[in-house]
Amino acid sequence: MHAGQSQVSASLEDYLEAIFHTVDTKGAARAKDIVERMGVNNSSVTQALRLLSEKELVNYAPYDVITLTDTGERIALDVVRRHEVMRRFLTQVLGLNGEDADEGACRMEHAISGPVLERLVQFVDYFETCPLNGVRWDDETGFYCAPADEVEGPACAPEACPRNGGLARNEEEV
């Protein structure tokens, strides 16, 4: 990073992510696109764009197209990756709906460290590809083994499922 660049706040990361997604979707980003995408006012976007420009993370001039610098794009891609990993964890593992998962992922993406993120990636990958892939979430009972007709491939072992009477948790260990 250059001398003018310092740690990027969670708020500025959100702006970089919004710019990235806007350019990805529309081919270009303007301040009004960021206002609409983030639901903030013009002055907030202008202030954030000036700060990002000072940190050499965006190319910005009033009334012009906004682009990410190489460093800005690298940071934005990292934020997008963290968001996607957290979203996958919240939907695939914890069974949250997409809206709740997105909101939670947006909050957590700024705080998660690299090692924790990598472990979550490995866990979600394992969870999605495990040969015993019938583990599901139920809002009333928690995790359970889905019936074989609800999963593709081999289901989890019913005898190991607490809901089915197996592997009951020892309350003394909890």
pLDDT tens across 137-157, in order? 666 766 666 666 666 655 555
How many H-runs (helices) and E-runs (strands) does the chain carry?
Answer: 6, 4
Residue 138 bridge partners (DSSP): 142
Phi-psi region of 56 (alpha: psi -120 to 50; beta: other; left: phi over 0): left
Q: Residue 170: which pLDDT band, with cuts at 50, 70 and 90?
A: very low
Residue whose entry in the numeric block shows the structure tokens 């999963």:
151
CA dihedral 101, 106, 108, 113 (to 10 degrees): 120
CB 42 within 8 A of CB 89: no
Residue ranges of domains in the chain, CATH in brackets: 10-74 (1.10.10.10), 81-129 (1.10.60.10), 130-174 (no CATH)
Query: What pTM does this model have?
Result: 0.72
Report how far residue 45's alpha carbon sits from residue 161's, in angstroms, rounded to the nearest whole number.
Answer: 50
Q: Does pLDDT of 72 surpass 80?
A: yes
Average pLDDT over the chain reads: 81
Q: Does pLDDT of 166 surpass 60?
A: no
